[in-house]
Structure 1
Amino acid sequence: MTEPKSVIRNIAEEPWQEFPDHFGGALSKALVHPTTTGAQKIDYRISTYQPMAYVKRHVHKVQEQVYHVLDGEGLMEIDGVTRVVRKHDVVFLAPGSWHSIQNSGLGDLTFIVVTTPVTDE
């Protein structure tokens, strides 16, 4: 793990990547992450999912997460309940909540994901 350091980064500096269990063009940039800044208590990503892209249903034991939808629309499942999410929606996920998100819209679904702590499993 990289030592934490204070930095200013431009979003263009971080490459798009498809993290494990993300499919169909579910791309993210790990802007503040243990591997990019050495952050130990926060994971801050911007994600863009192409139509039909999704992350597999999963759960975090101790992590809290916030999803902030910037553009597009999709479906978010939380503990078996599925709702439409769209621009300006903010979702809080408590530890132990099974969840997934998929782009069911016509264009890209773009959102910020903030997670803390980074390592829990």
Structure 2
Amino acid sequence: MKKYKIILSILLSIVVLYQTAPLIAKQLVEAYLLENEKDIAVQEPGTHNGGGITTGSHFFAKAKDLKLVFKKRVLKPGSAIGYHLQKEDEIYYVVDGEGEMQMNGSSFKVKAGDAVLTRPGSSHGLKVIGNKDLTIIINYEKR
């Protein structure tokens, strides 16, 4: 009897494994996504009515159930992200160039290597300083 229970257990394990293998394989296939900005970049006006010309790359925009937004934005000279009210934590990381950040009525310069955390309830905008592109990474939680 014990021998039959072992055999039955093994057979049941094989059946369960056979039934779940496609699901496990699908999860492994979707374990990561790889995107290149050249495939997703679009030319857009400055967001939040900022004006000018920018190039936006919204990485993983079509990823199912992703709770984060991860964007790269290149602001051309004369362009800006318009002053707006922030509804969630948002991080701006300056990759290249220089800009002027307006935050709650004050202004300060930002440059490559700077990171700015904007909190819910704050208002901010960002404009390019000079004749060089301002490249930033923007990250926030999707609502």
Q: Where do 1:1-121 residues align within 5 Å?
A: 6-18=32-44, 19=47, 21-33=49-61, 36-61=62-87, 63-116=88-141, 118-119=142-143
Give identity over the alignment, percent: 25
Q: Distance in 1 between matches of 2:94 and 2:65?
A: 23
Unaligned runs of 5+ in 2: 1-29
Residue of structure 1 equivalent to 2:12: none
Greater fraction of residues in helix: 2
Unaligned runs of 5+ in 1: none
CA distance change for structure 1 residues 11 and 57 in 2, over 3 Å: closer, same or farther?
A: same
SS across alignment from 1:12? helix
Where do 4+ consecutive residues of structure 1 move more than 6 Å? none
Superposed CA RMSD? 1.6
Q: Distance in 2 between matches of 1:16 and 1:80?
A: 31
8 A Cα contact 1:26 1:55, kept in partner: no
8 A Cα contact 1:74 1:101, kept in partner: yes
8 A Cα contact 1:48 1:109, kept in partner: yes
Name the stretch that deviates more: 96-105 or 10-19. Answer: 10-19
* TM-score (structure 1 length as normaliser): 0.82
CA distance change for structure 1 residues 74 and 39 in 2, over 3 Å: closer, same or farther?
A: farther
Amino acid at match of 2:100: L
The size of the alignment, in residue pairs, is 111
Q: Distance in 1 between matches of 2:127 and 2:49?
A: 12
